[in-house]
Structure 1
C-alpha cells in the first residue's frame, strides 16, 4: 500500500475491518502516511482458496486427494506444493482444454504430482552382451550418480555408461536420483567400487529393452 499523495509506503494502520463471503475475503483499512501525514482508506480483496483435485504418485501407486489453492494464482509444472501428506512436485496440469504446462488455478480440473516424501525409485540395467538384467532401486532423492561411477550390485561390479533422466540421456556428467529414470551399466572385473547399492534393491527382472 502506498500513499496516494506522496507515494510513500511508510504507512501506519489506524483501523482495520475484515469481512468474508463464500468467494472472497475483504480487508478495509484506515491508514496514515508517516511522511506527509495524509489519512486515507484502502481495500484489499482476496478470493478464497478453492479445492483442487490432486493425484499424487508414490512410485507404482497413486492416491487421490485434494489441495486448496487461490483461484487467481498461476500454477506451473515443476512447482512444489505442500499437500496433506507433505511436499509434492507438480508433473502435469489438466484443464478443460487438456494438459498444460501452466494454468490459472480456477481453470484446473486435476493436478498430477509426485510425492517428495518417499525415496526416488530408479531403474538400473546391466548389459551382459545381449542379455540384460534389470533392477529397481529406492534411493535418497538427493543421491547423485555420475557416469563412470563404479557400483556394486549383488555379486556384480559395474561401470555406469549412460544415465537417462526424464528429458535426456547423459554419457558424461551426473544426475540426482529424483530426476533419474534409468542407469545403464556394464560389468567389469574389479574388486573395488565407489558404493554398494545392493540394500537398495526392491525388484529384479531378467528381461528389459536396453536403451
Structure 2
C-alpha cells in the first residue's frame, strides 16, 4: 500500500533483459512510464499496468494520541491485522502496524480485501514507548516501580541482559508481547534467557532493579 507507485519490478534491457529488477518510476503519462533501473541506472520507457486502487482512512495511535491520514490500497489486495505499511501524514512519514480492520458500521475483521476495508486502525511502530516494571531483588514489592522508555521500533530487548535506559539500570527477566505480534513469538510471555523481542512488539517488560537504591536494606 502506498500513495503512489514509485517502484516496479520489470526487465531491464541493459542489464537484465530476461529477469525482473527493481526500477524507480521517474514519470508517467500516456499509459507509459519513464523508469530507472536500480541495478545499472539505465533509464528507459515502459508500459506499466497499474492496479485499480481505492483511498481509505487510516487512524494511527501513538503514545495515547491518535491522528488520521489516508492511503491508496489495491482493491484486490488482501490485508491482514499485524501487517505493516508506510503512511505519509501531515506530521511525518510513519511506519504503522494494522491493529484492526473496520469493514462496516461496528464491523471488524482480521483479514479483508482492500476494497472491503473502510478504515485501517493502526499503531505507529517506527518510534514507540515501552513500559518497564522494576522489582527489587530482595522481593520488597512496596519498592516496585515503573519507567517508560522511548525507542526506535526495531530496538531489541534480550531476556537475561542487564542494560541502562532512561538513566536506570536493570536486568530483564520477562517480556509480555503485544497482540497481534504474538504470532511471531512462541508464547505471549517470554522468560527464557536469550529470548529477544523488538520494542514495537513489547507490551511490558519486567526486570530486576539494579540501581544502588534497590540494593539497600530496610
The structure having more radius of gyration, on CA atoms, is: 1
Q: For residues 156 and 67 of structure 1, do their structure 2 counterparts lie closer, same or farther at Cα, with a shift above 3 Å needed?
A: closer
1:113 equivalenced with 2:122 (yes/no): yes
CA distance in 2, matches of 1:177, 1:68: 28
CA distance in 2, matches of 1:45, 1:143: 38
- TM-score, length of structure 1 as denominator length: 0.61
Q: Which residue number corresponds to residue 131 of structure 2?
A: 123
Select the structure that is richer in helix.
2
Provide the secondary structure at the position in 2 that maps to 1:78.
Answer: coil
User: Offset of 1:188 from its aligned partner?
Assistant: 4.2
> Which one of the candidate residues 208, 211, 216 is aligned to 1:186?
208
Gaps of 5+ in 2: 1-17, 19-30, 32-47, 183-187, 213-218
CA distance in 1, matches of 2:75, 2:166: 51
Q: Which residue number corresponds to residue 171 of structure 1?
A: 191
User: Offset of 1:45 from its aligned partner?
Assistant: 8.2
Q: Which residue number corresponds to residue 50 of structure 1?
A: 54
> Which one of the candidate residues 64, 73, 93 is aligned to 2:77?
73
> Which one of the candidate residues 160, 166, 173 is aligned to 1:161?
173
Gaps of 5+ in 1: 1-9, 11-26, 28-43, 191-211
How many aligned positions are there?
152
Q: Which residue number corresponds to residue 89 of structure 1?
A: 97
CA distance in 1, matches of 2:55, 2:177: 32
Q: Which residue number corresponds to residue 147 of structure 2?
A: 135
Q: Which residue number corresponds to residue 148 of structure 1?
A: 160
CA contact (8 A) 2:62 2:128 kept: no
User: Offset of 1:46 from its aligned partner?
Assistant: 6.4
1:102 equivalenced with 2:114 (yes/no): no
Q: Which residue number corresponds to residue 59 of structure 1?
A: 63
User: Offset of 1:102 from its aligned partner?
Assistant: 0.8
Provide the secondary structure at the position in 2 that maps to 1:72.
Answer: coil
CA distance in 2, matches of 1:47, 1:151: 48
RMSD between aligned residues: 3.2
